Structure 1
Amino acid sequence: MAHIDYFFSTLSPYTYLTGTRLEDVAAKRGATITYKPLDTMTLFTRTGGQAPKDRHPARQAYRLVEMRRQAAQQDMAINLKPAHWPTNPAPSSYAIIAAQKVGGGDLGALVQGILRSVWADQKDVADDEVVADALEAAGFDRGLVNAGLLEGAEEYAANLEEAVRRDVFGVPFFIVGDEPFWGQDRISDLDHYLGTL
């Protein structure tokens, strides 16, 4: 059975625009997924990238055009300048890590619910209530928002180190074995690759 390591950020518009297509492809191909939230801004500094605010104005402007077009193609609502972005991604990331360990809910729905909170619903995912609502909506215990914070922090940091070690430089990033795929617009490539295994 194929396995996908999924590196992402709970603040990334492109992770949001992945929607549920990764889970759909995994189900179609009989693949499993390990969700690996990480700190994208630190990843950028470690791998030669720049935070959006530090990019040339032309790049910043084109990023918004691309986000608008990609959202339209996926028929997804998006606020190009959300009220609570950037914010602290750690609480939502720790909750995903805790939910993955406990199981019993829909991790893909949890990730998408958290991202939708940022990019469509104008909510702050640094707020425990927002994260608890997303946990509950995805079939998890709301209490996971405060569960395993130390372990979550350790795994969150370890995910970043693993990403750097495995040449991940942006999100969303998918790795099957040693085969890398960067970006939500590479889901079809990932699907095709899984079909060759």
Structure 2
Amino acid sequence: MAHIDYYLATISPWCYLAGNRLEEIAQRHGASVTYKPLDVLQLFDRTGGVRPANRHPSRMEYRGYELPRWASHLQMPINLKPAFWPVNMAPSSYAIISAQETGGDVGPLVQGFLRACWAEERDISDDQVIRDILGAAGFDPALADSGLFVGAETYGRNLEQAVEAGVFGVPFYIVRESGQRFWGQDRLDFLDRHLAGL
């Protein structure tokens, strides 16, 4: 059975636009997924990327074209200027890490945080919002308050593992068995083909 390491950031519009396609692909091929939320801004700093605030205006202008194109193509609502962005990624990431430790289905939780940021104008660094999203995804809302130390440790370790594995942006998918890497929600079809042996 294949295993996919999914490196993500809970404030990334590109992770949001991935929707539930990774989970559908994994289910189709009997693959498992480990969700690895990380601080994407630190990842940029460590791997030669540029934080959005420091990018050339032409790059940001193109981003403003591309995001709504993809959102329209995928039939997903998106707010290009969310009320709460950027926000501290750590609290929502800790919640994902804690939820994953319980063995539940983390995909809907991840999508819940991303949708809250990019389509619902909610502050995913707010404790009550985090509890609400945990509950809506079938997890104990109290996970927002527990496992903070382990969450912080794992969150930092995810960044180190990402750098070591050659990750430089999100969403980023690595198939452990083959070492094949796929960067971007627009590469999910290639991940699907790879798992199918094509």
User: Normalising to structure 2: TM-score of the pair?
Assistant: 0.98
Matched, 1:31 2:37: no
Gaps of 5+ in 2: none
Task: Name the structure 1 match of 2:123.
Answer: 124
Task: Name the structure 2 match of 1:185.
Answer: 186
Task: Name the structure 2 match of 1:107.
Answer: 106
**Aligned equivalents of 1:109 and 1:192: distance in 2?**
23
CA deviation map 1:15-39 (0-9, x unaligned)? 0000000000000010000000000
1:117-196 alignment runs, 5 A limit: 117-177=116-176, 178-196=179-197
Secondary structure (helix, strand or coil) at the match of 1:196 reads coil
Task: Name the structure 1 match of 2:54.
Answer: 54
Q: Which amino acid aligns with 1:123?
A: R
Tell me which stretches of 4 or more aligned residues in structure 1 moved more than 4 Å.
Answer: none
Q: How many residues align?
A: 196
- The alignment's C-alpha RMSD in Å is 0.8
1:11-22 alignment runs, 5 A limit: 11-22=11-22
Q: Which amino acid aligns with 2:54?
A: D
Secondary structure (helix, strand or coil) at the match of 1:34 reads strand
CA deviation map 1:155-179 (0-9, x unaligned)? 0000000000011000000000211
Task: Name the structure 2 match of 1:70.
Answer: 70
User: Normalising to structure 1: TM-score of the pair?
Assistant: 0.98
Deviation at 1:103, TM superposition (A): 2.2
Gaps of 5+ in 1: none
**Aligned equivalents of 1:95 and 1:67: distance in 2?**
27
CA deviation map 1:93-141 (0-9, x unaligned)? 000000000123x311000000001000011111011111111111100
Secondary structure (helix, strand or coil) at the match of 2:196 reads helix
